[in-house]
Amino acid sequence: MIGRFFATIGRFVLDGLAGAGSIALFALNILSHLVRPPFYWREFLQSVLQIGWLSLPVVGLTAVFTGAALALQIYAGGARFSAESVVPSIVAIGMTRELGPVLGGLMVAARVASSIAAEIGTMKVTEQVDALVTLSTDPTKYLAVPRVLAAVVSVPFLVGIGDIIGIMGGWLVGTERLGFNSATYLKNTWAYLEFWDVGSGLVKGAVFGFVIAVMGCYYGMNSDRGAQGVGRATKTAVVAASVLILATNYLLTEVFFSS
Amino acid sequence: MIEIEGLKKSFGKKVVLRDVNLKVAKGESLVVIGGSGTGKSVLLKCVLGLVRPDGGKIRIDGKPVDGAEREAFLARFGMLFQGGALFDSMTVWQNVGFRLLRGSTRRPKDEARAIALDKLRRVGLGPEVADLYPAELSGGMQKRVGLARAIATDPAVIFFDEPTTGLDPIMAGVINDLIRSIVTEMGATAITITHDMISVRAIADKVAMLHEGRVHWHGTVAEMDTTDDPYVDQFIHGRAKGPITALR
Q: What single DSSP character describes residue B105?
A: G
CA atoms within 13 A on the CB side of A109: 27
A256 at B interface, C-beta within 8 A: no
What's the pLDDT at B164? Answer: 87
H helix or E strand, kind and range, residue A206: helix A195-221
Q: How many CA atoms lie within 13 A of A214 on its CB side?
A: 23
Tens digits of per-residue pLDDT, B24-47? 998 899 999 988 888 898 999 898
Q: Does A137 touch chain B (CB under 8 A)?
A: yes
Number of separate domains in chain A: 1
Q: What is the 3-state secondary structure (H, E, C) of B185-209?
A: HHCCEEEEECCCHHHHHHHCCEEEE
CA-CA distance, B108 to B110, in Å (whole number)?
A: 6
pLDDT, tens digit, for every residue of B43-71?
A: 998 988 888 899 999 888 888 887 777 77
Q: pLDDT digit string (tens) for A10-69?
A: 999 999 999 999 999 999 999 999 888 888 999 999 999 999 999 999 999 999 999 999
Would the pLDDT of B238 be above 60? yes
Is A35 a member of any domain?
no
Look at residue B248 and tell me whether its pLDDT is greater than 60: no
> Does residue A16 belong to any structural domain of this protein?
no
> Interface pTM (ipTM) of the complex?
0.88
Q: Within the 162-201 window of chain A, which residues sit less than 8 Å (CB to CB) from chain B?
A: none
List the domain range (segments joined by +) for residue A194: 41-257
Q: Per residue in A124-143, pLDDT tens?
A: 999 999 999 999 899 999 99
Range A85-102 average pLDDT:
94
Check if B85 contacts A (Cβ < 8 Å).
yes
Q: Which of residues 29-48 of A touch B (CB under 8 A)?
A: 38, 40
Residue-range domains of chain B with CATH: 9-20+47-75 (no CATH), 76-205 (3.40.50.300)
Cis, peptide link before residue B169, omega less than 30° from 0: no
For residue A225, the model assigns a pLDDT of: 82
* Domain membership flag for residue A64: yes
CB A197 within 8 A of CB A237: no
CA-CA distance, B185 to B180, in Å (whole number)? 9
Q: What is the average per-residue pLDDT within A230-259? A: 94
Q: Is B49 on the interface with A (CB under 8 A)?
A: yes
Cβ separation A137–B103 shorter than 8 A: yes
Alpha helical stretches, state H, chain B: 40-48, 68-75, 92-96, 109-122, 139-150, 169-186, 197-203, 221-226, 230-237
pLDDT of residue B246: 62
Look at residue A22 and tell me if it is in a domain: no
